[in-house]
């Protein structure tokens, strides 16, 4: 056999490396003359040309990576749709240490703040009283200013979807009439899996227009209404008929699994995400007392059962939301530092602990002692993120009070925080200048 023939065959075999398949017709070429060799070489070159990478023609979305110490303010859907007001908040970020903004994607009404591509969500946009038609462009403007963007999605508090899909709603005791809380708002049953997928569809749309993180709020069973006249048909028919904690953790687990799939977000090219995958960061808001209580507060929320499924969990440790008996302080609004420090330090200690009295899908019971003790995953304290109060409910919050909460968060070992002001007017004197 001629040496040039051996070399040519070797070259052909090498072409199979990198998942390139060389068809049998090439290997069957008979080399009887120099002209045949030239033809074979030309065919090889043609194969090489056809294996060049195909250009990625998808639209690109530029993200901002998660800041090491996140410092955010909240923006409602109405403010996002009001250029003059939203530009005031953008200017605030340029003057101060603020490096992130939380914008409502879906609020207490169940309607959404931007025009979706998913047809199932179109009615929630068309029924909205507030929102930004140019949300995608607005996000790009904020990214150009190096602002990390968080999209807030209220999950189970949803009067709009409860009216459209009453079979998913929390019911009164008769199992037929939709239940409403003290404000007249209705909820979706936590165990209604059809709603889980609906939320995931909205999450995909939101990430693909440029939100960097998805923040899930009202991830709980309802409260603040006639709890003696309430029923949960989907929960009753679930694998855990009388276990709110388990049903909520099942939702967290499913949400995490589905939003961790890059193929869901493949319609656009995600750039500068700050992580290896093209998937969103996620966070969940919890009642403040989840850091100090060892029950589920009758709403299903347990810190240890939420932490494994999100990049951050954010307790709403607003001092005004604690009872006067908390720490024996009297009016908690008079002690913003003490309330926030104790709440967040307790949360950090629970993150760092390797055991817990709380059951969970990822927890293993140790021994047979009573009360039960479970081994749990250990997390850094910075998996927590502190919600800060900047509103005058129950007290008069000034710059010193707001800054005291921020310092309490730092002292407790939590470096990231988000400030809530329903008015979207923030106490600038509480923030460090840029």
Give the residue from 319, 103, 91, 275 showing the smallest Cα distance to 327. Answer: 319
Would you say the pTM of this structure is higher than 0.85?
yes
Cα distances from 366 to residues 249, 294, 350, 369, 374, in angstroms, run 21, 18, 17, 8, 5
- State the greatest distance between any 2 C-alpha atoms of the chain, in Å, as a whole number: 100
Per-residue pLDDT of the chain (434 residues; tens, 9 = 90+): 444 444 434 443 333 434 333 333 333 434 344 455 666 666 766 666 666 788 999 999 999 999 999 999 999 999 999 999 999 999 999 999 999 999 999 999 999 999 999 999 999 999 999 999 999 999 999 999 999 999 999 999 999 999 999 999 999 999 999 999 999 999 999 999 999 999 999 999 999 999 999 999 999 999 999 999 999 999 999 999 999 999 999 999 999 999 999 999 999 999 999 999 999 999 999 999 999 999 999 999 999 999 999 999 999 999 999 999 999 999 999 999 999 999 999 999 999 999 999 999 999 999 999 999 999 999 999 999 999 999 999 889 999 999 999 999 999 999 999 999 999 999 999 999 98
Burial class (CB in 10 A: 0-12, 13-18, 19+), 262: exposed
Are the beta carbons of 434 and 94 closer than 8 angstroms?
Answer: yes
d(CA 341, CA 433): 24
Query: Strand ranges (DSSP E) for 288-363?
Result: 312-316, 355-356
- Do 79 and 85 meet the contact criterion of CB atoms below 8 Å apart? yes
- What tokens does 42 get? 């030309």
Q: Tokens 């010193």 map to which residue?
A: 400
Q: Are 148 and 67 in contact (CB under 8 A)?
A: yes
What sign does the dihedral 109-110-112-115 (CA atoms) show? negative
């Amino acid at each position: 056999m001629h040496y040039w023939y051996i070399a040519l065959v070797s070259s052909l075999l090498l072409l199979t490396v990198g998942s390139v398949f060389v068809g049998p017709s090439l290997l069957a070429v008979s080399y009887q003359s120099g002209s045949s060799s030239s033809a074979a070489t030309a065919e090889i070159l043609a194969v090489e040309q056809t294996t060049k990478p195909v250009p990625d023609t998808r639209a690109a979305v530029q993200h901002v990576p998660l800041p090491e110490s996140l410092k955010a303010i909240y923006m409602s859907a109405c403010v996002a749709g009001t250029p003059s007001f939203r530009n005031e908040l953008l200017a605030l970020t340029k003057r101060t240490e603020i490096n992130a903004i939380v914008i409502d994607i879906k609020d207490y009404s169940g309607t959404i703040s931007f025009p979706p591509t998913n047809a199932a969500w179109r009615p929630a946009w068309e029924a909205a009283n507030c929102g930004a038609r140019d949300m995608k462009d607005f996000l790009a403007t904020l990214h150009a200013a190096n602002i990390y963007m968080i999209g807030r999605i209220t999950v189970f508090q949803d009067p709009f979807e409860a009216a459209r899909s009453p079979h998913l709603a929390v019911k009164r005791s008769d199992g037929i009439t939709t239940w409403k809380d003290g404000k007249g708002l209705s909820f979706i049953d936590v165990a209604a899996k059809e709603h889980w997928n609906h939320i995931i569809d909205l999450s995909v749309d939101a990430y693909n227009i440029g939100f960097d993180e998805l923040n899930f709020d009202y991830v709980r069973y309802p409260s603040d209404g006639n709890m003696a006249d309430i029923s949960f048909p989907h929960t009753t028919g679930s694998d855990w008929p009388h276990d709110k904690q388990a049903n909520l953790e099942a939702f967290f687990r499913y949400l995490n699994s589905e939003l961790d799939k890059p193929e869901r977000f493949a319609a656009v090219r995600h750039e500068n995400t700050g992580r290896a995958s093209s998937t969103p960061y996620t966070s969940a808001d919890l009642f403040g007392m989840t850091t100090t209580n060892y029950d589920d507060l009758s709403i299903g929320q347990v810190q240890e059962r939420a932490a494994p499924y999100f990049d951050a969990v954010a307790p709403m440790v607003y001092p005004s939301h604690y009872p006067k008996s908390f720490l024996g302080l009297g009016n908690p609004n008079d002690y913003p530092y003490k309330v926030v420090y104790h709440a967040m330090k307790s949360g950090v200690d629970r993150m760092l602990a390797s055991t817990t009295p709380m059951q969970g899908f990822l927890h293993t019971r140790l021994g047979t002692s009573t009360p039960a003790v479970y081994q749990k995953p250990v997390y850094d304290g910075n998996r927590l993120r502190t919600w800060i109060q900047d509103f005058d409910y129950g007290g008069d919050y000034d710059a010193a009070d707001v800054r005291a909460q921020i310092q309490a968060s730092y002292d407790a070992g939590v470096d990231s925080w988000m400030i809530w002001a329903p008015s979207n007017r923030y106490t600038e004197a509480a923030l460090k200048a840029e």
